[in-house]
Amino acid sequence: MAVTSLTDTDFQNNISAHDRVIVKYYADWCGSCKLFAPKFKRLSGDERFTGIEFLEVNAEQNPEARKAAGVDNLPFFATFKNGQLVKGDSTSKEETVVSMLEELKA
């Protein structure tokens, strides 16, 4: 599965169109965000997480999408179920993101 990039324009439609979603918020200047990008892409192809839509948003360029998850630091990950925010966390630890994905599957 691939990671889809979103903007404020298509954010809400995409969140609502899928039952389970994880969003990675990043900024171009964020070193930890760049380091996590290949891990996020790999997780998107992990068969354990089939059925979860993987999305990413540039937090600096998309204030509405950032506000929807309460982003306070980067990288920031947010899970949504049926269009509603479930959990948000600022982390660069893969095990934290895996835990969020497992909670979303439950």
φ, ψ of residue 11 to 5 degrees: the values are -60, -60
Q: Where are the domains of the chain?
A: 3-105
Whole-number pLDDT of residue 88: 95
pLDDT of 2 reads 87
Eight-state DSSP code of residue 92? -
Q: What is the mean pLDDT of each run of 10 residues along the chain (106 residues)?
A: 90 93 97 95 95 96 94 96 94 95 92
Q: Enter the pTM of the model.
A: 0.95
30 included as an active-site residue? yes
21 catalytically annotated: no
pLDDT confidence of residue 106: 84
Q: Would you say 91 and 79 are in contact if contact means Cβ atoms under 8 Å apart?
A: no
- 3-105 CATH choice from 1.20.120.350, 3.30.870.10, 3.40.30.10, 3.65.10.10: 3.40.30.10
Catalytic residue among 21, 22, 23, 30: 30
Which residue, chain included where needed, has tokens 């929807």?
Answer: 68
Residue 23 DSSP symbol: E
What pLDDT is attached to residue 78?
Answer: 97
Residues 75, 33 contacting (CB under 8 angstroms): yes
State the catalytic residue, choosing from 6, 22, 33, 78: 33
Name, in order, each residue with C-beta under 8 angstroms of 71's C-beta and a sequence gap of 6 or more: 25, 59, 78, 88, 90
Torsion of Cα atoms, 82 then 86 then 105 then 97, to 10° = 130
How far is the C-alpha of 78 from the C-alpha of 69, rounded, in Å?
A: 6
